[in-house]
Amino acid sequence: MIGEALTYVFLVIGTAFNTLGIIGLLRFPDVYTRMHATTKMTTFGTTFTALSVVVYAVAMFLGGNSVMFPSLALHTIIAALVLAFTNAIGSHALARGVHKSGCMPEPSVVDRLEGVLP
């Protein structure tokens, strides 16, 4: 019972943060701010989606169901970890590439990196 409620809570949190990330992608004015929205919020949302699956699998396993649920939970945890690492590194690489390609942050207060790179 409590497992079901927790699963729904985590699913709703995950989907809400994914939605906010996409709204930020559509709404923000330049590449870097869009990257803020997508990287942080979709990673967080997908982690919570994975967490809901883990909670569901643990609850099903404790309820005495089939044997596949522990491996489901383990694989989901590994998927979430892999996703968090690759998203962080990938967005850093993208930001660096975009800045090297000459696309400066458009509404910007200060840019200490300008002129430092060759």
Partner 1 sequence: MNIMWMPFVLVLVILVLLALVRLFLGPTAGDRAVSVDTVNTLVVAILILLGVYFKEVIYIDVAIVFALLSFVGTLFVAKYLGGEL
Partner 2 sequence: MLPFLLTAIFAFSIWLVLTAGTGDIGLWSAPELAAGVALSLVTAGITRTFLCRSRNFRMANPARWLLMCLYILGPFFLEVTRANLDVAYRVITGRIRPGIIRVSSDLKTDLGIFMLANSITLTPGTITVDIDEATHDLYVHKINLVPGEEKRETFQDSDLFSLANLPAWIRRIAE
* Torsion sign (Cα): 45, 51, 53, 55: negative
Is residue 61 within the footprint of partner 2 (CB under 8 A)? no
Q: Which long-range contacts (CB under 8 A, 24 or more apart) does 78-82 make?
A: 79/50, 80/46, 80/47, 80/50, 80/51
Binding mask 60-89 for partner 1 (x = CB under 8 A): x--x----x--xx--xx-xx--xx--xx-x
Query: Measured between alpha carbons, how far is 46 from 103 in angstroms, rounded to an integer?
Result: 29
Q: Which residues, numbered 94-113, are part of the site for partner 2 (CB under 8 A)?
A: 95-96, 99, 105, 107-113
9, 13, 43, 111: which one binds partner 1 (CB under 8 A): 43
Is residue 13 within the footprint of partner 1 (CB under 8 A)? no
9, 22, 40, 58: which one binds partner 1 (CB under 8 A): 22
Question: What is the DSSP track for 9-54?
Answer: HHHHHHHHHHHHHHHHHHHSSSHHHHHHIIIIIIHHHHHHHHHHHH
Q: How many residues bind partner 2 (CB under 8 A)?
A: 46
Residue type, 100: K
Task: Give the footprint of partner 2 on this chain (CB under 8 A).
Answer: 17, 20-21, 23-24, 27-30, 32-33, 35-37, 39-41, 43-44, 67-68, 70-71, 74-75, 78, 84-85, 88-89, 91-92, 95-96, 99, 105, 107-114, 116-117
